[in-house]
Amino acid sequence: MATETRATAAVIDYVTTTTLDSFPAEAVSLAKQCIIDGVGVILAGSAARGTGIVREYIKAGKESGQATVLGGDTFSCRTASAALANGTAGHALDFDDTQLSSTPDRIFGLLTHPTIPPLAASLAVGEHLGVTGRQFLEAYLVGFEVECKMNEAIDPTHYKNGFHSSGTFGIFGAMIAAAKLYNLNAEQLGHALAMASSMSSGIRLNFGTMTKPLHVGRAAQNGVMAAELAKLGHTGGKDALDSPWGFYRVFTLGAGFVEKSIVGALGNPPSIVSPGVSLKPYPCGSLGHPTMDAMLKLIREDDVKPEQVKAVRVRAGSNILNPLRYPFANTELEAKFCLPFMMSSLLLRRKAGIHEFTDEFVSSAPVQAMMKKVTTVRDAAIEARGFDRMRSTIEVDLTDGRTLVQDADERYRGGPDLPFTREELHDKFIDCASLVLRPDAIRETLTRLESVDSAKSIREVVGIMSKGALEGEPVVL
């Protein structure tokens, strides 16, 4: 554990000296994929009921327009408020990307959904300042890298004790992205780190509620606010990350962090390259995705019909079963953390997308009946293999007496071993964006995002989405 004040200095040095040219071409390419994915889920999440409440809350303030709140009903407000709305939308469907573990003790739940906080901040501040696409991409990548490395370093008790890392570390990704665009100097950045440390928040109690996405929205909002206050001369304590009363010691009850995961590790290599990032094929907790793919494979290979299913058992370790904590779902928010629903949706419709994760489908009689047939089992053998991978086994008892068994493939879809194809990424974006944008605006937005580093101003890209909203009443998920 760290005993010296070095992490704070390492972050400040990295942020103030790193440019887009510092990143390898692979990182830039992956960043553009993550941005396409992130913008897509922001657009879809803008239609979520929880996001709508946040949007109306912001509208009531009648703020001056500096940045755009994306969705079917766009409007402008202050940068921090736009980051709040878009950040909340980006996590509302639990469809945003996930950071990957590099060591067995860094359990998947500990790690962040890394894109949305720096993306929401970069969009808001970038539009306000009229920055180029290269500046926007640079801010996003630097924020992404600091967020991931800081999170990877913390003692896992942070998550195990109940903190939600996408909220507690997302603020640093957002703040750093905003700081790059505002060109904060080393002293200002030190103050911004201290403010972000005090404003960091999010507890796992709120999984399965509207407040979980709000964690990410607040991370984006507070990150922008910390950078803007620092730019204006607001101050904070010294050595924010690793002093005796600094972020790492306080947020782990003294356990601290692994210094080598930050000092000398920032950008070496970038986390977006190694261990990489995972794009989600399903709008729900990523810990269930390999299990969902396993179920889909079993259903297709044996042509399993819903009426054939007598019972289903999902065997997994505590790293999966504890976060996916709902044994039965009554709402779509609970369903995102409910393995029985995930299995039931696939058994009934052979898919589990944004049109399945709705209150109407979750509460339907066929789903409610199927969920009662699914149980989860903590498997000691799977538990003993460690938490660096999302391992599980499905057992399906059929009415004819057969039991079908399928292990989850550790090379899950959307991860570095089985990455999305360009077509799969575009299909997901189109499916998400079609809730709020016209087809022509969707196509143009995709084209612009794929070459975002050549944009003269990020305002051009935002403008396409702002003008491309569907006519009529906004869709509400």
98-99/75-77 β-pairing? unpaired
CA distance 453 to 271: 20
| Residues near 254 by beta carbon (within 8 Å), at least 6 away in sequence | none
Contact predicate 358/477, CB 8 Å: yes
Q: Which domains, ranges and CATH numbers included, belong to the chain? A: 7-278 (1.10.4100.10), 286-407 (3.30.1330.120)
Mean per-residue pLDDT, 337-353: 97
The tokens describing 228, both together, are 């803007």
Read off the pLDDT band of 106 (50, 70, 90).
Answer: low
pLDDT for residue 471: 78
- Helices 170-182 and 133-153 meet at what angle, rounded to 10? 150
pLDDT at 104 over 80: no
- Ramachandran sector of residue 401 (left: φ over 0; alpha: ψ -120 to 50; beta: rest): left
pLDDT for residue 1: 42
Share of the chain above pLDDT 90, in %: 86
pLDDT at 4 over 60: no
Name 68's bridge partners.
76
Name 406's bridge partners.
394
pLDDT for residue 412: 80
Mean per-residue pLDDT, 93-121: 85
What kind and span of H or E run contains 473?
Answer: none
Q: Say which amino acid occupies 166.
A: S
Average pLDDT value for the chain: 94
What kind and span of H or E run contains 228?
Answer: helix 211-232
CA distance 199 to 71: 27
pLDDT for residue 108: 57
Mean per-residue pLDDT, 438-445: 96
pLDDT in tens, 381-397: 988 887 767 889 999 99
403-407/392-398 β-pairing? antiparallel
pLDDT in tens, 287-314: 899 999 999 999 999 999 999 999 999 9
The tokens describing 46, both together, are 């803008």
Share of the chain above pLDDT 70, in %: 97
pTM above 0.85, yes or no: yes
